[in-house]
Structure 1
Amino acid sequence: MFASLLVLSASVAYDSHLPPLIQWQGQSNELMQQEGPLTTDFELSSGEISPNYADTMAFVDRLVAANPTQFKSQTIGYSNSKRAIKMLIASEQGFFEAGQMANSTKPTIFIQAGIHSGEIDGKDAMFMLLRDIATGKRRDILKKVNILFIPILNVDGHERSSVFNRINQRGPIKMGFRTNANNLNLNRDFTKLDTPEVRSVLKVINAYNPNLYIDVHVTDGADYQYDVTYGYNPVFASESPAVSDTLNQFFKPMIDEELTSQGHIPGPLVFTMDKRDFKKGLAGWVATPRFSNGWGDLKSLPTILVENHSLKPYKQRVLGTYVFLDGAINALSTYSHELSNAVKKEQEFVPKQLIVKRGYAKQADTIEFKGIAYASSMSELSGQNEVNYLGKKLDYSNLPIYWQKEVLDTVEVPKAFFIPPVYSDIIEKLKLHGVSVNKLEGANTQPLKMAKVSDYTFDKAPFEGRFRVSASFEYIPAINVDLDGWYQVNTQQKSGELAAHLLHPEAPDSFFAWGEFNTIFQRTEYMENYALIPYARQMLKDNPKLALVFDKKINNDKEFAKDAAARLNWLYEHSPFYDQAYLKYPILMSFEEKVVIADQKDKEI
């Protein structure tokens, strides 16, 4: 107790560098209890503390013991440090198995907390809500929905706990670290699947097929009045626009009304164009599939990203999360039919083109925005003007907002991709993504195309443990390819659009972009001049057209003419000895209207 008081008093000093607060007193304060069964550590500390991993898992066990007919705890995976990742399943009828829940008449909501474990609001909010279910205060909840809840996804980062982990966040007093034990950001891993934590999430989604996925975070950035901001890819930029439109029309009004009635201020998920000059406007973000909500958008899985405001006190944020989740549950129960229809519509549609690059609109829209007044002054430390937020309300009536509306690049969606059997790890990842894959056997003939790298650039520094690569391609016919034992991925399937983003080399979060195929940039066989020169002399003699091209290149390119190594390498490239796999993306593509396969047996994996 004494140690806790020391930490509590220390927190005052650690908060002193943050901007002044606008005092808050919402009706949701009444959700807290100070005594009685299953009072949380958060409540016992008056909203200052979040329990450590051991105490969190113990509280999960207490919840299950208090309501074993409706609650069950399940280990869904382990971190690389061998900590168990627990999920609590809640069902009125005790439908804990995936098949049972799939046959339930109620929709299923999947709530994930602690993907960034310093941003742990969702854990303590859901513990309060589940306690209220277990003790009978909220019997209505399980009459509406089934619940899947991960209290801590980043279990290793959660235990790298400190009062110094997030300089611009008010509480909890001790909080976890952003990345996992391998220093990987789990919310950048939804396509490449390097982490056991995110692989566990995808296994849950594949098994239980939830109707709504909620990922709870705490934002960084500017100060403003909103305490609970949330969002999903906007309709104009969504890969599942019918789903986005349904969330807009039916879910958002109900959630916002619930938050407002409890004294919270819901706001849009936006960022600033310039952190030092708020008046330059807001940036409207479109998530790519490396993020949970971008991946969910491609998967046609309705996904809401919650970003509570980091400068608001922990107590206020947790209570706001409770109210948000309560509102989302009510909305899902009320509008599950509309949402299911939107999902079905999107799963049946695969576009002919993928947008692989977006830019901010040159012309801004405007938005009413509840900001915080600020002053700007020269900092002796940074040597530039810096913002000082003043803790006073400032409402903007026509603040510019720039959305990523401009389409900068698109690619054609193949009818099918063909993957060599050597890439078994890619096949396993596709299965985790819920993509259907067929194995080909026997003699196969296909009119296929190959992507040949014409230019490429590697990132200068690693990102998420990988050196990402960007490239331009030319698409050429693939000649004499024996597809026996290869894997075929058709894009005309429920996860077809996601498959296209994963497998098309020009997609920004594809396996190729994340460096899964970096070995194609290696040359492992070379030539000796004493062997190449006599061979090349005969090759040019036998092929006058090639000799003419070589002569023209010497005459028109002075640098080439003076570079002996370049000349010999050109000749080597045009010989049959040259590595035919060099700079060639090994996954082939079919763009035909109908794929004709002779003498084939398909095996569903």
Structure 2
Amino acid sequence: MRYAAITVTVYLGLSFMMLSAQTTGYPDALYSRPERTRYTETSLHQDVVSFVESLRQKSDLVHVETMGTTFGGRTIPLVIMADPAITSPEEARLSGKLIIYIQANIHGGEVEGKEASLQLMREIAFGKMRYLLDNQILIFCPVFNADGNDALGPNNRPNQDGSPYLAGQRASGQGYDLNRDGMKLETIEGKAFMEKMILRWDPLMLVDLHTTNGTWHGYAITTAPGMTTAGHPGTTEYLQNELFPWVNEKVKERAGYDIFYYGDFYEYPPRTFYGMAAEPRYLTNSIALRNRLSILVETFSHDRFEKRISANIAYLTSLLEYTSVHSLEIQNLTETIDQEVTQEIRSSGGTMQKGVTFEYKQPGQKTDLLVYEVKGGKRTGKRVWFSDVNLMNQYSAAKFAVVPKAYVFPAELAAIAAKLQEHGIEVTQSTQNDTYFGESFTITRLNHDAISYQGHRMASVEGSFNGGSAVMPAGSWYVDMAQPLAYLIFLLLEPASYDGLVVWNYFDDYLVDRNVNSVAVTYPVFKVFSGGSGILSEGLDQDKITAMYNPISGKISVFGLSVEHPSQIEVTTVSGSMIKKLNIPAGRNNCEIELPHVATGIFMVAITSLGKTIVRMVMIRNME
């Protein structure tokens, strides 16, 4: 845990309707293009670079780095602001301060966050907002999609009602949506982001600034936490329960803006409001799987340009006031989650299950919703409230898989190992032949979407898991799950994961070479429950053994068996009469016991392995 004294300062006297009205007397280079053109134009990439360079030259709080260079040859500037200034991640860590990363313009036409970042950086460096650096280090990336930003056109953002008249395109210079790269990490910008920001600086919070694509809710700002789905829920719960309520109230108090969850509705009057998608291909969701706080911020596209900028500044200022006060709390939270994820694998890997596909949690929750009124098929310009709208913004697992202690796969799949390492995942190669016990997946069919998406015909597999063992030669790739990124690994490598490497075609060549749709093929990634030099042998664990009766199948299910060693199971009546006896070979951590027709009552299930016996009682109410 981190403990230190922190400074608390809150400035409430700033009007956010036009921040530049409060900041006269700066050199021309420190006014953004919208400020200089009465908010009719947005900044080009060169405008941003010139602004950042002027900021660097004139402020002793600013350090500038380049995240990378785009396909079109444009640099992606990073502005690191600290008081006192720092120039490296090592200095940042020694300061003990919270690191926050604020990114704008991932979609080139959504320009408000870019302009708000420039104005906010100026006010921190020279205005009344220097206090935002008291307990934290802020890293700004104002123009992440630099190529898309400069691909100006009048029809790129039709839902912005010509404000500004020209805006960039959504896609990158190579035609990709950079906000779909969270798992595959294939774009130039995505690779640079992971290497130069996430792995180098390890910010504990990411803020991703967007603008909506045309929804007609009634909010100046909508937000969403990173959806952790299979990951540790701690970051999402903290944002929803602690940070969001405070920040939303503060924005309403200082600027009058209403805030709601990000999403949309598809009928009028609205009956259901659907929230943020769950797939970790989205940037904020992928960051949540890394046990870091991530926030999606969307301004309302139909508001005027200056209001969208103002809304971003109001939100960022309020957010950064909260994080400054709670800097140590956030650092302790993420540190604790890293530790809990690692410990969870050590204690429950090979027995616990997590979701691999997800759906909206039913039935949702009722909420009041502010939207723009429609009468006679036309919008009146008035905002009206609707009650009892079904809010669908939480997810539950639709399909589960066992989380292993490790994954192991052949040396020939070096590209898979490299992709994991690109995410910052620890991957090693075995130095000897090893025998592992766990599960393999047999693929009976490989399917592909008919239409290409982000350069991929996305794939899915059909098949089933089978308990057993695998003998892997020296040089095989070994991924120990006892690391903080365990649940990111899980969703990358599980064959049925809704957004894993199977989906993004990383196993296509391997499977097609083995005639996957003509014969059954074993998925090359083996799930390790025990065995091998990397994992200690385990017998029965009192805390893991469970037995329960399934009235639908008429069977008793037993979970938590010793995978490395065979087990013997006896089912008896309370008085000791034998009902069923069977031997379970090594390699299986669960089994189902089909029972003969017997009377209802309480039965004893005795599981024995390596001379140790654990007994569970099962109530059978109806055997019909």
Calculate the TM-score normalised by the size of structure 2.
0.77
Query: CA shift at 1:52, angstroms?
Result: 0.8
1:417 Cα deviation (Å)? Answer: 0.8
What CA distance in whole angstroms lies between the structure 2 residues aligned with 1:238 and 1:440? 28
Matches of 1:246 and 1:518, distance apart in 2: 39
CA contact (8 A) 1:242 1:346 kept: yes
Corresponding residue for residue 589 of structure 1 = 527
Report the number of matched residues: 508
Among candidates 315, 322, 325, match of residue 306 of structure 2: 315
Residues 370 and 394 in structure 1, CA contact (< 8 A), matched pair in contact too? yes
2:357 is matched with: 357
Q: How far apart are the structure 1 equivalents of 2:454 and 2:509?
A: 19
CA contact (8 A) 1:444 1:597 kept: no
Match of 1:31 in 2: 19
Aligned to 1:14: none
The farther-off stretch of 28-37 and 117-126 is 28-37
Mapped partners of 1:174, 1:250: distance in 2: 39
Contact kept? 1:144, 1:330, Cα under 8 Å: no
Please identify which structure carries the higher helix content.
1
1:100-128 Cα shifts (integer Å, max 9, x gaps)? 11221221110001111111211111111
Amino acid of the structure 2 residue aligned with 1:179: A
**Which residue does 1:10 correspond to in 2?**
none
Q: Give me the identity figure in percent.
A: 23
Q: Cα–Cα, structure 1 residues 207 and 266, in superposed 2: closer, same or farther, change >3 Å?
A: farther
Q: Is the 8 A contact 1:153 1:197 kept in 2?
A: yes
Distance 1:266 1:104, change over 3 A: farther
Letter in 1 for 2:485: S
What SS does the aligned partner of 2:335 have? helix
Question: Does residue 473 of structure 2 align to residue 483 of structure 1?
Answer: yes
Q: Distance in 2 between matches of 1:216 and 1:471?
A: 35
TM-aligned CA distance change 1:305 to 1:588, over 3 Å? same
How far apart, in 2, do the equivalents of 1:340 and 1:238 lie? Answer: 22
Aligned to 1:110: 101
Matched residue, 1:496:
486
- With 264-273 and 391-400 compared, the bigger mean Cα shift is at 264-273
Which of the residues 50, 57, 68 maps onto 1:58? 50
Deviation at 1:509, TM superposition (A): 1.0
Deviation at 1:461, TM superposition (A): 0.4
CA distance, structure 2, for counterparts of residue 524 and residue 330 of structure 1? 57
Q: Which amino acid aligns with 1:316?
A: K
Question: How far off is 1:43 after superposition?
Answer: 1.3
Which of these residues, 386, 411, 428, is aligned with residue 401 of structure 2?
A: 411
Alignment-derived partner of residue 78 in structure 2: 87
Cα deviations by residue, 1:474-525 (Å, 9 ceiling, x for unpaired): 2346766333112211111111111111111111111111111111342478
The CA deviation at 1:447 is 2.5
1:241 paired with 2:233, answer yes
Which of 77, 86, 103 is the aligned partner of 2:68?
A: 77
Match in the other structure for 1:196: 188
Equivalent position SS for 1:446:
strand
Following the alignment from structure 2 to structure 1, what is the Cα–Cα distance between the partners of residues 263 and 117?
Answer: 27
Give the 3-state SS of the residue equivalent to 1:363 in structure 2. coil
Instruction: Name the stretch that deviates more: 133-142 or 123-132.
Output: 133-142
Asked whether 1:44 is paired with 2:36, we answer yes
Whether the 8 Å contact between 1:242 and 1:345 is mirrored in structure 2 is no
Cα displacement string for residues 399-423 of structure 1 (whole angstroms, at most 9, x for unaligned residues): 2223454432111111111132333
Q: Which moved more, 1:439-448 or 1:158-167?
A: 439-448
Range moving further from structure 2, 58-67 or 342-351:
342-351
> Structure 1 residue 149: deviation in Å?
0.9
Bigger strand fraction? 2
Q: Distance in 1 between matches of 2:424 and 2:457?
A: 26
Amino acid at match of 2:381: G
Match of 1:232 in 2: 225
CA distance in 2, matches of 1:597, 1:28: 57
Deviations 1:251-273 (A, max 9, x none): 21332133112334232234334
Match of 2:386 in 1: 396
What is the deviation of 1:222? 2.4
Kept in 2: contact 1:228–1:264 (CA 8 A): no
Deviation of 1:458 after TM superposition, in Å, equals 0.8
> Hey, what does 1:367 align to over in structure 2?
367
Q: What is the identity, as a one-letter code, of the residue corresponding to 2:70?
A: S
Distance 1:113 1:596, change over 3 A: same
Q: Any residues of structure 2 matched to 1:485-524 within 5 Å, and which?
A: 485-523=475-513
Classify 1:598/1:87 alpha carbon distance in 2 versus 1 (closer, same or farther; 3 Å).
closer
Whether 1:277 and 2:215 are equivalent positions in the alignment is no
| Residues 1:142 and 1:479: Cα distance change in structure 2 (over 3 Å) | closer
Aligned mates of 1:598, 1:103 — CA distance in 2: 35
- Find the aligned partners of 1:346 and 1:212 in 2 and give their Cα distance: 14
Q: CA deviation at 1:217?
A: 0.6
Q: Counterpart of 1:427? A: 417
Change in 2 beyond 3 A, CA 1:451/1:238: closer
- Cα distance change on mapping 1:491 and 1:72 into 2, 3 Å: same
Corresponding letter in the other structure for 1:355: G
**Equivalent AA in structure 2 for residue 191 of structure 1:** M
Cα deviation 1:530-578 (Å, max 9, x = unaligned):
xxxxxxxxxxxxxxxxxxxxxxxxxxxxxxxxxxxx9xx8xxx6xxxxx
1:537 matched to which residue of 2? none
Q: Is the 8 A contact 1:445 1:598 kept in 2?
A: no
What's the CA shift for 1:140?
1.1
Give the counterpart of 1:121 among 112, 118, 125: 112
Q: Work out the CA distance in 2 between the residues paired with 1:65 and 1:396.
A: 52
Q: For residue 593 of structure 2, what is the aligned residue in structure 1?
A: none
Give the superposition deviation at 1:314.
Answer: 1.1
Higher relative contact order (CA 8 A, sep 6+): 1
- Map of 1:544 onto structure 2: none
Q: Could you say if the C-alpha distance between residues 468 and 427 of structure 1 is closer, same or farther in structure 2, counting changes exceeding 3 Å?
A: same
Alignment-derived partner of residue 139 in structure 2? 148
CA distance in 1, matches of 2:396, 2:376: 32
- Structure 2 vs 1, CA of residues 493 and 473 (structure 1 numbering), >3 Å: closer, same or farther? same
Shift of residue 597 of structure 1?
Answer: 5.0
- Partner of 2:442 in structure 1? 452
In structure 2, relative to structure 1, the CA distance for the partners of 1:245 and 1:403 (3 Å cut) is: closer
Query: Partner letter of residue 201 of structure 1?
Result: F
Could you tell me which residue of structure 1 aligns to residue 258 of structure 2? 266
How well do the aligned residues superpose, as a CA RMSD in angstroms? 2.5
Aligned partner of 1:553 in structure 2 is: none
Deviation of 1:152 (Å):
0.9
Question: For the Cα contact (< 8 Å) 1:520–1:584, is it kept in 2?
Answer: no
Match of 1:465 among 418, 432, 455: 455
